[in-house]
């Protein structure tokens, strides 16, 4: 039974590649059955994302660049757009990790953490 539980748990996890601010790639597991977002996954794997506002799209400390799968992201909310308008180093593929829920469609996602704000 234990092996079966482990097998099904692993079926619910996806793989995400996160490139840190030093350029090192980290291949991490992200659970799709825990209602987590990308910021929380980064923190879970002890990557340098602060999440100062607790996931309310009010600080941009989880700012990242999407390198793939952006067509599977939800539309940017007004709050996310507003925060990105105030953030540093924003690019066309910029998003806030706290606004991206982890779903099975994101399996294979690649992101790069944006430089920290000054």
In a domain, 56, yes or no: yes
- 3-class DSSP string for the chain: CHHHHHHHHHHHEEEEEEECCCCCEEEEEEECCCCCEHHHHHHHCCCCCCCCCCCCCCCCCCEEEECCCHHHCCCCCHHHHHHHHHCCCCCCCEEEHHHCECCHHHCCEEEEECCCCC
Domain membership of residue 27 (yes or no) is yes
How many whole angstroms from its chain centre is CA 81?
Answer: 16
pLDDT at 118 over 70: no
Which range of residues forms the domain containing residue 78?
Answer: 2-113
Q: Are strands 13-19 and 109-113 parallel, antiparallel or unpaired?
A: parallel
User: Does some domain include residue 99?
Assistant: yes
Please calculate the CA angle 31-34-39 and round it to the nearest 5 degrees.
70
The answer to the question of residue 107 being in a domain is yes
Q: How many CB atoms lie within 10 A of CB 55?
A: 17
The per-residue pLDDT for 14 is 97
Residue 17 placed within a domain: yes
2: Cβ contacts below 8 Å, ≥ 6 apart: none
Amino acid 3: pLDDT: 52
Give the pLDDT confidence score for residue 69 in this predicted structure.
92
CATH of the domain at 49: 3.10.20.30
Whether 77 is in a domain gets the answer: yes
Whether residue 7 is predicted with pLDDT greater than 90 in this model: the reply is: no
The reply to whether 11 falls in a domain is: yes
Establish if 118 belongs to a structural domain: no
Instruction: Give the total number of structural domains in the chain.
Output: 1
pLDDT tens-digit map of 59-87 = 999 999 999 999 999 999 999 999 999 99
pLDDT tens for residues 10-64? 668 999 999 999 999 999 999 999 999 999 999 999 999 998 998 999 999 999 9
């Amino acid at each position: 039974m234990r092996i079966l539980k482990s097998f099904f748990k692993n079926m619910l996890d996806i793989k995400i590649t996160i490139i840190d601010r030093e350029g090192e790639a980290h291949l991490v597991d992200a659970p799709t059955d825990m209602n987590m977002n990308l910021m929380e996954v980064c923190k879970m794997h002890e990557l340098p994302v602060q999440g100062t506002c607790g996931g309310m799209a009010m600080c941009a400390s989880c700012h990242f660049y999407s390198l793939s799968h952006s067509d599977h992201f939800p539309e940017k909310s007004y709050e996310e757009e507003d925060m990105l308008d105030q953030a540093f180093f924003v690019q066309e593929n910029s998003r806030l990790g706290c606004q991206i829920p982890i779903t099975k469609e994101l399996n294979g996602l690649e992101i790069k953490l944006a430089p920290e704000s000054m």
